[in-house]
């Protein structure tokens, strides 16, 4: 199973707009958080920290979903259901790129012990609403 | 397990701001959609249609999660993990109230065969981020 981003979905994701990401808790409940994201080829990439709830959940169950909409039009949204993989390489660069895109400033890591991880989401199914 | 909305969370939800709601798909994946919502006592209420994916998922597994943030400040968000119950009574009134709150106009049901349902979410755990 695989699905491709449309040009409209790609533009919405790279705008950049904030997204909500769902992972699966150990007991099967959904867990949500707000994320920065961008496209990388046919995938989406998101930054997180080692040890965060999201990171632990993905290690146990890589099935995630991401919903994004244009800030000015929440009625037009895209849900990307996909499979997440965790990559150490590129984690530090990604958070800087996203911080520049979303906030226009470099990211400052609050705790020097933080380890940044890149979450790569390969779409299995894309649902568009308008 | 039960958790209470803080005054800040309540104000954010009733602002009204758009929310993202997660349900559990039959295969255990998370499913997301954008929703209107409001508080009702200590619960959240959301409108849906009988037969919609969200409705079917809740019938099979009532565990849901809702994330909401102020439009002007996505970094300050609240996640409400809760248990959903479906109520026929009040469904038609709720969609009208939410339509007035969010859009300032009455809701017009696209298809006369649509049956509106009220989804009542009783919080089990509330996670606030700032």
Tell me the per-residue pLDDT of B89-101, one tens digit each, with 9 for 90 and over: 999 999 999 999 9
Confidence of residue A13 (pLDDT cuts 50, 70, 90): very high
pLDDT band at A57 (very low <50, low <70, confident <90, very high): very high
Residue B13 phi/psi, 5° resolution?
-70, -40
Contact list, A33 vs chain B (CB under 8 Å) = 67, 77, 79, 129
Nearest Cα of chain A lies from the Cα of B115 at a distance, in angstroms, of 20
Beta carbons of A64 and A84 less than 8 angstroms apart: yes
Helix (H) or strand (E) run with residue A57 in it: helix A53-60
pLDDT tens track for B106-124: 999 889 899 999 999 999 9
Q: How many CB pairs below 8 A link A and B?
A: 79
Structure-block tokens of residue B116: 């509106």
Tokens of B89: 């009574």
Contact: B63, A20; criterion CB under 8 Å = no
**Cα B49 to Cα A22, A42, A51, B68, distances in angstroms:** 23, 33, 38, 21
Cβ contact B79–A18 (<8 Å): no
């Amino acid at each position: 199973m695989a699905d491709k981003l449309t040009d409209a979905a790609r533009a919405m994701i790279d705008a950049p707009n904030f997204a909500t990401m769902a992972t699966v808790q150990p007991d099967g409940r959904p867990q949500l958080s707000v994320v920065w994201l961008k496209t990388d080829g046919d995938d989406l990439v998101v930054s997180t920290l080692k040890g965060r709830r999201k990171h632990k959940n993905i290690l146990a169950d890589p099935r995630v979903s991401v919903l994004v909409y244009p800030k000015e039009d929440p009625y037009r949204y895209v849900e990307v259901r996909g499979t997440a993989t965790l990559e150490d390489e590129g984690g530090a660069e990604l958070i800087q790129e996203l911080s520049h895109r979303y906030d226009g400033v470099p990211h400052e890591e609050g705790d020097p012990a933080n380890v940044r991880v890149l979450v790569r989401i390969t779409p299995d199914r894309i649902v568009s609403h308008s």
